[in-house]
Structure 1
Amino acid sequence: MFYAKKIHHWLWRWHIIAGLISLPFILLLSVTGAIYLFKADYEQQTYRSMTQVTPSVSYLTYQQQLDIAQKAAKENGVAIPTQMILPDSDYQATQFIAGRFSSESYTFVNPYTGEVTGQFARKDTLMQKVRKLHGELLLGKKGSWVIELVASWLVVLIITGLYLFFPRSIAEIRTLFRVRVKQGKRTFYRDLHALCGFWLSLALMLVLAGGLPWTELFGSNFKTVRDQTDTGYPTGYHGRGLESDPNKAAKKLDLDDVVTIAKDKDLAGVVTITIPTNPKGIYSISNRAESLKDQQQIHVDQYTGNVIKAFSWSDVGALSNGRHVVMRIHQGEFFGQANWYFMLGLCVLTAVLSASALVSYCLRKPKKSFGLPKAARDKQIGVLLWGSMLLLGITLPMFGISLLAIMTLWLISKILKKTIRLVSAAS
């Protein structure tokens, strides 16, 4: 291969640098990611006393249950619920939601007795803390920047690792399927790391694609591209900008009327009804289905019950659609239980990959040295590889910023060394 040896040393150097920066965090992400996969089972058991009820003959209307939930929220000084999850079982308490995203709080009402079976805020749950540790290191936006930096360097690790380990001949293909166990610890851990890295590389890239849109800089750029290319949600998809007309009706619908409309639509999965909070507000009916193509958004006038606008998932643009696919894969939710096992296995093997990398590095590096190969001096290699680094730096802004910082520190160290030599020579 053209300039193969020099390129190999250059990429090996950056592979080690990327590993030293990323490794502790990759281990943390693997562990917290594996724990978070158990969220549904954990919360089902933890909050069973709130979410499960015993069926009875009498049944309160949904409007009565909403009034009870809102009254309980006022009495406890918490946000007033503006959403309801439509129960899909006679044994299920009705769940009302206030707030959005990590600020959500939940109130559960027994639909037979009217008893408030429990309330809790999402931010107080163990699994939300695990999620915040996974995505923000419990440091808010600053932690999100660190995770984005690690994810960006992980892309570099994957690309350089693939190049370094990819077989150069037919005879070397066997290295993709074996770990040499009889040739010492150095060889064993090197093979274990290389083998795991090679076979996990595409899966890790897919998972990174699902996580990066949540980050600060890359996520912001992603949204800009999506909006500029009109490949996101159509106007009004989430109900923003849509209004009911209070001048055209004598009375407004209650929650039970909207539940009837929702049930007539026979929506798959978990159905959520968003409740209007002002005279021009609308009812919104949405569902989260196992298959994205089954998802719909239906916006209803709160006075007439007429559908103002309705959307199916086919109305969603390519970038938002693609993001949801990889995001669900990232969360272990896209192709059923197999996806869950796929992600759990990936978390475990990524932890093995990271641990074997650390052991291999410690066994191979010289004492009192980082063990970095010397960088190639060929100008043509510099143009090729620095051009690639520049492209990655633009695509992954946090990588670009960190690369600039590393080069600045390197330049400062060079200047200081030269200055010290000149001073020493002059004296």
Structure 2
Amino acid sequence: MTMTSAMPDGRAERASTKSFYLIAWRWHFYAGLYVAPFLLVLALTGLMMLWTSVLSGRDGEKYYTVTPAQTQVAVSAQADAALAAIPNGKVVQYIAPRTEEGAAIFRVNNGDASSMVAVDPYNGTVLGSWDRRNGLYDLANKIHGTLMIGDLGDRLIEVAAGFGIVLIVTGLYLWWPREGKGFGSVLVPQFAARGRQLWKSLHVTVGFYISLILMIFLVSGLSWAGIWGDKFTQAWSTFPAAKWDNVPLSDATHASMNHGGVKEVPWTLEQTSMPMSGSDAGKMGIAEGQPVNLDGIVAFARSIGFNNRFQLGFPADDSGVWTLSRDTMSNDSANPLSDRTVHIDQYTGKVLADVGFSDYGVPGKAMAVGIAFHEGDMGVWNIVLVTVFCLSIIFMSVSGMVMWWKRRPAGASRLMAPAVPGDMKLWKTGAIIMLAVSLLFPLTGAVLLTVIALDYLIVRRVKPLKRALS
């Protein structure tokens, strides 16, 4: 007969609960050990990206302001001015001003080089130019997405995001009020506490409030990840090209419109094939007899509701299309419900595809809103919330390390992980729960299984290693 079975029911239940608490604490400790450095990097670079976008714009469109006048020069004349600023260049994109005081932005390619040129839309004067995707936002974005080590960095962050879910689940269990304490002990920090207990109280309260937002950030952030995003999730939730109404399709997908690590195409469209110009397919667009050129396309865009900032991609080759787009992921607007992408045949002016938010599937709609929220694109309230959230993540990461350091005896040569409970009857239950959460994210699940195998086959059998990691 075991000691637990000999106990009265109440004591046995308390012992089992304590054992499960210790199991959850160990999961939380080890997950946090891996996740915390990544969360720190993601929060810091996220703040850099957010405020660079707010202050100067992702494409540098806020660097220059203009004085509004009664009339504007033709967009084609603005494009010519931009082209003259980059010898031997080719205009490939037009970004309409967000406000009356905003400059028109043109992307001009010259071989492998790509430049952005700001033009005053009222007089056609070139205001300045700069290398595309070579600013502070782009540096932060590269660190945020790949740690500047390519696919390896992407995979490491994806694993961290998966373990971040484990961190949330175990954290919520650990934070749940027990031993006669009410929710007040979670909702309000215990400022009267001192030392490690104060840090713990602040960690619990801040963690409780940001847990749901962190979950949203982790899941929406994973939509960019190489395994979970591109192959596991996006593959089955992409917009069907069959809805292009039998127009000819290119071998290229919408993802070809992205540039480097920066995503500019609505998430649900990335894997969908692009339509092609050069047929009689499509619906009525530019009126017959009207020229299908830059000025005509921009006028048509205004007539169908593309107001303020929108982007216009030029045909890439003889079979390419004009592409009008407005979406919150590209910071064109603050309302994901206004997302819209329109492809126009470069020869006939017919509309080959017109996709809005209402056409997305449920995952596409969720991600359109989730990514816009993640990037702080939905207005001032969103900017404030994301700023507070990133600062809270920094605090959570630091406070977790401080609590560990304060709990650790001076001069200890071990990690001082939470103790293994004496009664391990619930170990399998805890492992199954955490494994199920992790396996929702394949790469994290694979790493978790590897860690469990290494622990069982090596760490437990090598005493110095077992002691160091205990």
Could you tell me which runs of 5 or more consecutive residues in structure 1 were left unpaired when the two chains were aligned: 419-427
Equivalent residues of 2:52, 2:136 under 8 A apart = no
Give the Cα separation in 1 of the matches to 2:375 and 2:129. Answer: 26
User: Aligned-pair distance for 1:240?
Assistant: 4.0
TM-score of the two chains, using structure 2 as the length reference = 0.77
Q: What's the CA shift string for 1:145-169, capped at 9, x where partnerless?
A: 2222222222211111110110136
User: Aligned-pair distance for 1:345?
Assistant: 0.9
Give the Cα separation in 2 of the matches to 1:165 and 1:171. Answer: 11
Q: Which amino acid aligns with 2:349?
A: G
User: Aligned-pair distance for 1:246?
Assistant: 6.8
Picking from 368, 371, 375, the partner of 1:327 is 371
Change in 2 beyond 3 A, CA 1:29/1:296: closer
Equivalent residues of 2:96, 2:308 under 8 A apart = no
Q: Equivalent residue for 1:165?
A: 175
Q: Equivalent residue for 2:398?
A: 355
Q: Equivalent residue for 1:278?
A: 317
1:336-415 matches, cutoff 5 A: 336-366=379-409, 367-376=412-421, 381-410=426-455, 411-415=457-461
User: Aligned-pair distance for 1:344?
Assistant: 0.8
Change in 2 beyond 3 A, CA 1:217/1:233: farther
Q: Equivalent residue for 1:109?
A: 119
Equivalent residues of 1:122, 1:128 under 8 A apart = no
Q: Equivalent residue for 1:425?
A: none
Q: Equivalent residue for 1:224?
A: 235
Change in 2 beyond 3 A, CA 1:379/1:49: closer
Change in 2 beyond 3 A, CA 1:375/1:300: same
Q: Which amino acid aligns with 1:414?
A: R
Give the Cα separation in 1 of the matches to 2:242 and 2:154. Answer: 25
Q: Equivalent residue for 1:424?
A: none
Q: Which amino acid aligns with 1:281?
A: G
Give the Cα separation in 1 of the matches to 2:18 and 2:351. Answer: 66
Percent of counterpart pairs with the same letter?
Answer: 27
User: Aligned-pair distance for 1:273?
Assistant: 1.8
Q: Which amino acid aligns with 2:444?
A: F
Q: What's the CA shift string for 1:230-257, capped at 9, x where partnerless?
A: 6899558689442333789999522111
1:22-421 matches, cutoff 5 A: 22-43=35-56, 51-54=64-67, 60-75=73-88, 80-97=90-107, 105-168=115-178, 171-220=181-230, 221-227=232-238, 235=244, 240-245=273-278, 253-288=292-327, 289-334=333-378, 336-366=379-409, 367-376=412-421, 381-410=426-455, 411-416=457-462
Equivalent residue of 1:152, what SS? helix
Give the Cα separation in 1 of the matches to 2:49 and 2:190. Answer: 34
User: Aligned-pair distance for 1:342?
Assistant: 0.9
Equivalent residues of 2:61, 2:102 under 8 A apart = no
Tell me which protein shows more helix as a share of its residues.
1
Equivalent residue of 1:179, what SS? coil
Equivalent residue of 1:206, what SS? helix
**Residue 13 (str. 1) matches residue 23 (str. 2):** no
Q: Which amino acid aligns with 2:199?
A: Y
Q: Which amino acid aligns with 1:393?
A: S
User: Aligned-pair distance for 1:210?
Assistant: 1.9
Equivalent residues of 1:135, 1:144 under 8 A apart = yes
Q: Equivalent residue for 2:256?
A: none
Equivalent residues of 1:73, 1:81 under 8 A apart = no
User: Aligned-pair distance for 1:308?
Assistant: 2.7
Q: Equivalent residue for 1:421?
A: none
- Which one is further off, 41-50 or 57-66? 41-50
Q: Equivalent residue for 1:422?
A: none
How many residue pairs get aligned? The number is: 409
Change in 2 beyond 3 A, CA 1:247/1:64: farther
Give the Cα separation in 1 of the matches to 2:186 and 2:242. Answer: 42
Give the Cα separation in 1 of the matches to 2:153 and 2:453. Answer: 23
Change in 2 beyond 3 A, CA 1:72/1:195: same
Equivalent residues of 1:251, 1:303 under 8 A apart = no
